[in-house]
Amino acid sequence: MARRSSASPRPADELCFLSACELLRHYRARSLSPVEVTRAILDRIADVNPHVNALYYIDAERALAAARDAERRWHRRAPMGVLDGVPVTLKDSVRVAGMPTPNGTQALADQPDERQDSPVTARLREQGAIILGKTTMPDFGMIASGISSLHGVTRNPWNQERNSGGSSSGAGVAVASGLGPLAVGSDIGGSIRIPAAFCGIVGLKPSYGRVPIADPWQALVAGPMARTVADAALLLGVISRPDTRDYTSLPWEDRDYLDDIDAGVRGLRIGLLTDMGFGLPVHPEIRSRVEAAAGVFAALGAIVTPMPPMFDDDPEPDFDQLVQTCGRADFAALSPERQAMVLPQIADWCRQGEHTSAYVLTRAAVGIGHTRRRVIAAGAAYDYLVSPTMAIEPYAAELPWPEGGSQHNPFCFPFNLSEQPAISICCGFTSSRLPVGLQIVGKRFDDAGVLRLARAYEAARPVLPVVPGRDTRSNSVATAR
């Protein structure tokens, strides 16, 4: 791709904030090269990552080699797949052959590199994506914060004194900071949507089983994180391709999630949920931004109806018991010496599950079933729900969870239990210039519909502040293709 268009060269930072869809259009037009883009992003990683701590493993040599291969394919007009030459990062817990998977903890820092790709990684390679490296997460992904015994503190790019959210901490920060247009995170109780909300990006928790994963577990999903809805749809179409290793995965839908993404929302019934009935109260500015977003949907022709609280009691203890027991199993497998290396807050939490009886665990499982039924029943009268992703602003960077709060976010984990798709998209900023996440929830299996609503809102929302680290940014959204 030696030939370039006659347009003046783009500043390196501008390349780093182009969307994946924009990059692919430039590759087809030969106005940009995958090598040029990858070098610009690697340079930005070298400059920005020491301040925000988004990536812990950077594979520059292999990324550039992959970019050169992609450049040759585009020069022949024979791209390998729909993501050929597009840089992507992967969460620590996602297996990548030749890279470590310490799961965020010092206790596993000396484990050998992986010998096999996870399903997500394999699909990305097949479609030509350039794997830049791996992003940070807290120990075992067990808290919704950006602190780790191995990786240290991952910081919010809008205010480095504030939390990035977790557990896909580095993924959210990387995308927001221009360290790659795409990232893959995972979510068992909000771990994609929470950092997406805190970092002001798009994060989709797909329907359970939509994206095959290496080690399936109840409520756990992998999903796309990006700066635009179209990019999230593009990435979902790749990572949702089938893999027999996940015995819980849904039948593959051979579809393009960009199809009909601009179909609009006219006539759809949307429930506005601003109170779950438990957890911290919603910050007034966050409620205001979410209600304004609901007004955007109404202006686009949707029928928006305020909802009563979803719960009249607290379902979190049952969910906490289930996740704690799972965490305890991983923790107990470590030697005492290695247990001492785990982040103290997570180690203490795991130890609390040491003497959980079969009766208590069974009671929690029954309670989870009740929670699932209640969530589904509460949303039955609506096509979609909208809510805050987080009730609060990003809290202090070094904290494991917000003061006065609990380990799990009330607006997120119930929809993991009900297996419904849910996306977080930025709906504005507080007076402290911190992002606010709008959550859109669809019925089970309706991932395409959730993307369609998010796209409609993205195209109609007011102009947002500049992206961190970039001087200017237009709020105009390029067409999905």
Cα 328 to Cα 447: distance, rounded to the nearest angstrom: 32
**Do residues 198 and 397 lie in contact, with contact meaning Cβ atoms separated by under 8 Å?**
no
Tell me the C-alpha distance between 34 and 20, whole Å: 11
Residue 58: φ, ψ to 5°: -120, 120
**Of the residues 191, 240, 249, 387, which is catalytic?**
191
Q: CB-based contacts of 193: which residues, under 8 Å, 6+ apart? A: 187, 203, 205, 389, 412, 422, 423, 424, 437, 439
What is the rounded CA–CA span in Å between residue 288 and residue 314? 25
Q: Distance between CA 35 and CA 19 in Å, rounded?
A: 16
Rounded CA separation 326/108 (Å): 17
The Cα 58–Cα 105 span in angstroms is 18
The 3-state DSSP class for residue 135 equals strand
Place of tokens 């550039």: 64
- Cα separation, 268 vs 446, in Å, equals 14
Which amino acid does the sequence have at 315? P
Distance CA 30, CA 250 (A): 38
Residue 191 among the catalytic residues: yes
SS3 of the chain: helix, strand, coil, percent, to 5 = 35, 15, 50
Catalytic residue among 118, 145, 167, 240: 167
134: three-class secondary structure by DSSP: strand
The CB density around residue 61, as the number of other CB atoms within 10 Å, is: 8
Beta pairing, strands 130-135 & 55-58: antiparallel
Of the candidates 19, 33, 91, 443, the residue annotated as catalytic is 91
134 is known as an active-site residue:
no
Beta strand residue intervals within 296-335, DSSP E: 303-306
Strands 182-187 and 269-272: unpaired
Query: Would you say 5 and 29 are in contact if contact means Cβ atoms under 8 Å apart?
Result: yes
The Cα 84–Cα 69 span in angstroms is 9
Token reading at 54: 């988004």
DSSP string for residues in 399-417: -SS-TT--SS-TTTHHHHH
* Distance, CA of 281 to CA of 9 (rounded, Å): 49
Is 167 a known active-site residue?
yes
Catalytically active residues, by annotation:
91, 167, 191
